């Protein structure tokens, strides 16, 4: 009996290794520099699905689907509720979401629910509405309501999005995708996670990082404002006074 079970196990392992795939992918750039003339940056994702190292087959067999998730730097985000009190709109309640992504875009080669199950999407944290985490102090219901509104606001600003036709297959195993990073995208470290699906299951995945950072005078201002706020404030006041005086002298003439 043990020999039979061992033989079955060997056959299953051989079958799984024979159909294993691996993903070879690349980004068009790993560094985006923000300057005074920066108006956004277009990123290109491309790659191919190949047999895994040591696999017996020479070609992979599809059909495949590809989902790319681009996540920006984590931040602490506050979702506030405004209430009309005697004709005045004031903040009456709020929930703070720690570790909330400042940017989240999903590109896929088809409708997500046609690619895989909702359970897999939830486990892999692929959907934009799954990004707000449960806050113990706020409770499940309050976190869900405020989190949904926060995702809606981030989507309106263009920081969150879902493009179910954003990945195009150039062949049965080669794909490409493009994403335009907005000019006001938060600086920091980004992660592009690529998932390859076959028959609703993930058969390969790969994660690649890139950075968005300010350079030149813009970086000097950002660093000064965060590390030396007092000196930065004095400099701003002095510059404003000098600009006002200079404008008065010019227009007086």
What φ, ψ does residue 185 adopt, rounded to 5°? -65, 140
Please determine, for residue 233, whether its predicted confidence score (pLDDT) is greater than 80: no
CATH 2.60.40.3880-classified regions of the chain = 20-214
pLDDT above 70: residue 134: no
Q: Which residues of 235-250 are buried (b: 16+ CB within 10 A; e: fewer)?
A: eeeeeeeeeeeeeeee
Residue-level pLDDT at 101 = 92
Lowest mean pLDDT among 27-41, 57-71, 173-187: 27-41
Residues in contact with 194: Cβ distance below 8 Å, sequence separation at least 6, in sequence order: 23, 25, 45, 47, 66, 67, 68, 69, 205, 206, 207, 208
User: 48-62, 79-93, 121-135, 185-199: which has the highest mean pLDDT?
Assistant: 185-199
- The pLDDT of residue 75 is 87
CA–CA dist 69, 147 (Å, integer): 19
What would you measure as the largest C-alpha separation in the chain, in angstroms? 104
Range of lowest pLDDT (32-46, 119-133, 238-252):
238-252
Residue 50 pLDDT > 80, yes or no? yes
> Is 70 exceeded by the pLDDT of residue 228?
no
Is it the case that residue 62 has pLDDT exceeding 80?
no
Range 7-12 average pLDDT: 39
pTM (two decimals): 0.74
pLDDT at 216: 52
Residue 25, classed as helix, strand or coil, is: strand
Q: How confident is the model at residue 144 (pLDDT cuts 50, 70, 90)?
A: confident
Mean pLDDT score of the chain: 80
Cβ–Cβ < 8 Å for 197, 64: yes
Q: Does the pLDDT of residue 116 top 70, yes or no?
A: yes
Q: How confident is the model at residue 20 (pLDDT cuts 50, 70, 90)?
A: confident
Geometric angle at alpha carbon 143, from 139 and 145, rounded to 5°: 125
Reported confidence tier of residue 17, pLDDT bands at 50, 70, 90: very low
The residue-averaged pLDDT of 171-189 equals: 90
Q: Give the span between the Cα atoms of 12 and 18, in whole angstroms.
A: 10
Least Cα distance to 213 among 187, 233, 191, 192 occurs for 187
DSSP state of 160: E
Rounded Cα distance between 207 and 25, Å, is 9
**Residues 184-207, mean pLDDT to the nearest whole number:** 92
Write the CATH number of the domain with boundaries 20-214. 2.60.40.3880
């Amino acid at each position: 009996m043990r020999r039979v079970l061992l033989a079955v196990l060997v056959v299953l392992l051989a079958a799984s290794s024979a159909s294993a795939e691996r993903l070879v992918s690349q980004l068009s750039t790993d560094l985006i520099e923000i300057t005074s003339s920066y108006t956004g940056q277009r990123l290109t994702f491309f790659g191919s699905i190949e047999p895994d190292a040591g696999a017996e087959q020479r070609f992979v067999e599809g059909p495949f689907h590809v989902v790319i998730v681009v996540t920006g730097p984590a931040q602490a985000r506050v979702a506030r509720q405004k209430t009309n009190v005697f004709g005045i709109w004031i903040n009456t309640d709020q929930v703070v979401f720690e570790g909330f992504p400042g940017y989240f875009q999903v590109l896929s080669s088809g409708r997500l629910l046609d690619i895989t199950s909702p359970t897999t999407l939830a486990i892999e944290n692929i959907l934009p509405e799954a990004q707000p985490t449960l806050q113990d102090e706020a409770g499940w219901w309050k976190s869900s309501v405020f989190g949904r509104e926060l995702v809606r606001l981030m989507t309106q600003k263009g920081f969150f999005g879902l493009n179910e036709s954003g990945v195009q297959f150039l062949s049965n195993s080669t794909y490409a995708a493009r994403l335009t990073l907005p000019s006001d995208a938060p600086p920091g470290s980004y992660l592009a996670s690529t998932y390859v699906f076959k028959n609703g299951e993930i058969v390969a995945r790969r994660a690649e990082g890139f950075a968005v950072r300010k350079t030149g005078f813009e970086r000097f201002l950002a660093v000064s404002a965060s590390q030396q706020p007092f000196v930065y404030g004095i400099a701003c006041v002095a510059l404003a006074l000098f600009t006002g005086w200079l404008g008065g002298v010019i227009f007086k003439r």
